[in-house]
Amino acid sequence: MRQKLTIAVALMAGLISGFILGVKIVGRVPLGERASVDWHWKRVNDYLAAMKKLPTREPYDVETSLLALNKAGEIHALELLLPTVPENRATNTYWINYLHDRPDVLLAQGLPQSSAIRFAGRQPLYLKIWCRKSTLPDIQKLVDELEALAASGKAESPNPVD
């Protein structure tokens, strides 16, 4: 009798744990209506609002929603490699300031410097930008200005690891 009671308690605990785990997983994975474009836009807008309040702490990884919106044709995901533009403090400051006040740029990232892997010579600037379609002319202007800055020599940094 006691052994049957122990087995029954173990089965109930397992069922309850499985149910709780299932609810947590479903809460994180968009299914049905939650996988809609509107749901992903809500996630991106909530992310942007949270970043305005506390820009040093990302509330969650928004890239899944950005990928979904790109796949749905709602936004563009651009990966820009500018081989003539060095990645340094001057160019990073320039593109960050340029994109900062453009509301149609949802997220912009530069390739981070790696302390584990070093490049010979000058590392080119690499940018990943998620934006609405209306911003494409601005992004082209940014590329043109960064290339002009590099050609003028004003983008050179005295410290190559800068």
What's this model's pTM, rounded to 2 decimal places?
0.71
Q: Is the dihedral of CA 71, 102, 110, 146 positive or negative?
A: positive
In this predicted model, what pLDDT tens digit does every residue of 20-31 receive, in sequence order?
A: 655 555 555 555
Q: What are phi and psi of 84, to 5 degrees?
A: -90, -5
In this predicted model, what pLDDT tens digit does every residue of 1-49 receive, in sequence order?
A: 667 667 766 566 566 666 665 555 555 555 565 579 999 999 999 999 9
CA gap 26, 9 in Å, rounded: 26
75-162 sits in which CATH class?
alpha beta
121 pLDDT tier (thresholds 50, 70, 90): confident
Per domain, the residue ranges of the chain are: 33-73, 75-162
